[in-house]
Amino acid sequence: MAERCRAELAVLMREDGNNECADCGEADPDWASVTFGVFLCQSCAGIHRGLSTQSRVKSVRLDNWDRDQVGVMVGMGNKKAKEQFEMHVPLFYRKPRKIDVEVLKKEWILAKYEREEFTDPDRQTAYNCSSKEGMLWKLGRDRKQFQLRKFALSRAENKFSYFINEDSKQKPQQPKAEADLDHMNAVFVPEKIGNPYGLQITFIKNGSTRSLFVYSESSKDIVDWYNCIRAAKWERRRIAFPDRDLHQLAEDLTKDFILEGWLSKMGPKNEPFKRRWFTLDRRKLMYFEEPLNAFPKGEVFIGHRDAGYSVSLGSPEGDRSSNSHNNYCFTLHTHERNFILRAETQDDMDKWNTALNQVIDLPLTPQDSKLASMLVPKKASNSFRIIRR
């Protein structure tokens, strides 16, 4: 009987839809929730075990199955489950992939099966709303300590703001800082912040990128804020471009950083290498003294290869770095200067070389050109700027 059950499950798992995780899309799942009748990867199966509904999780290959349990899987399966539990997923809502951070997977699974947010749109008001207020822990720009701050989002004003004093009895509050939603990004960075619910919010301020580092003590709260930002950006796009495809408008509402890590950078006049934290955010390369700095020491908008942007291994002939200490060196060529960079390992150098070349090969979009104009003085004719502090 056990062998027959396993054989039936093996056939069932090869069916379209069942051959990838029901929650994150990872190929060849080998776990299942008998409670919901879905096939899962090991990571999502672990989250299912923590559901208050006590989702019963079993290994397809290692555990024993009986006929009734197999019957549940035959009767449901991933396709039917998707139709039931994902009936009303908003286009702006970020569905996690296998490579995404744990908090996104966790809240996606809780929203689907426990809170049933996607079977009833009225249960989505925590993030699909015209305005939102709440408290988040924010890292101080100078003191480098996290403190509770009031945050607010307004679709009507197209603003995301935070406040120092949350006492509503005092005179009307003035925001300490506010961001234009159109040019704001939000990225989960748990390892950088040192908190599993850590979020980095970036926006343009006075021609430079500003970063806010925040977290919540609740995974639901921080993911609600994240999707609220996405919802507001999507709604503005939908109103501004009524003839556009809605799925197209939902693309790139927020975008994870392409690559981050430590590199050493040579100064503009063959000055000694200095170790900096680099972040590649779409077409924008930023470098910081420390990963949690509010402002970058400098940032470069990376244009297309046809405009003269390129990456080469090593350093240009004649530079002092070509004579010594040039292990894992590579050079980013721009209009204004060559950025001579040095990775700490061969693997790091290969990753940066690949990532930068991929960006340089991408065609520029109108949004890219607008971003470049925000970072570069109007008199400049190239998409490049160095900012030093």
The secondary element (H helix, E strand) that includes residue 259 is: strand 259-265
Domain that holds residue 38: 2-90
Average pLDDT, the chain: 89
Residue 25 buriedness (CB in 10 A; 0-12 / 13-18 / 19+): middle
Final residue before a domain boundary, out of 227, 249, 271: 249
Q: Does 385 reside within a domain?
A: no
Q: What is the pLDDT of residue 188?
A: 98
Of 193, 224, 249, the residue that ends a domain is 249
Asked which of 38-52, 106-120, 121-135, 161-175 is least confident by mean pLDDT, the reply is: 161-175
Confidence of residue 74 (pLDDT cuts 50, 70, 90): very high
Q: In what order do the strands lie in the sheet with 329-333?
A: 298-301, 284-288, 274-281, 259-265, 338-342, 329-333, 310-313
CA distance 136 to 184: 18
319 or 172, greater pLDDT: 172
Question: Does a structural domain hold residue 56?
Answer: yes
Regarding whether 362 and 273 lie in a shared domain, the answer is yes
32-48 per-position pLDDT tens digit:
999 999 999 999 999 99
- For 293, the 3-state DSSP assignment is coil
% of the chain with per-residue pLDDT over 90: 71
pLDDT category of residue 385 using cuts at 50, 70 and 90? very low
Q: pLDDT digit string (tens) for 77-121?
A: 999 999 999 999 999 999 999 999 999 999 999 999 999 999 999
Task: Please tell me the pTM assigned to this model.
Answer: 0.90
137 and 245 together in one domain: yes
Total of domains in the chain? 3
214 shares its domain with 319: no
160 and 72, same structural domain? Answer: no
Same domain, 229 and 270: no
Q: Two tokens at 191?
A: 């390892």
Rounded Cα distance between 286 and 274, Å, is: 14
Kindly indicate the confidence band of residue 247, based on its pLDDT and cuts at 50, 70 and 90. Answer: very high
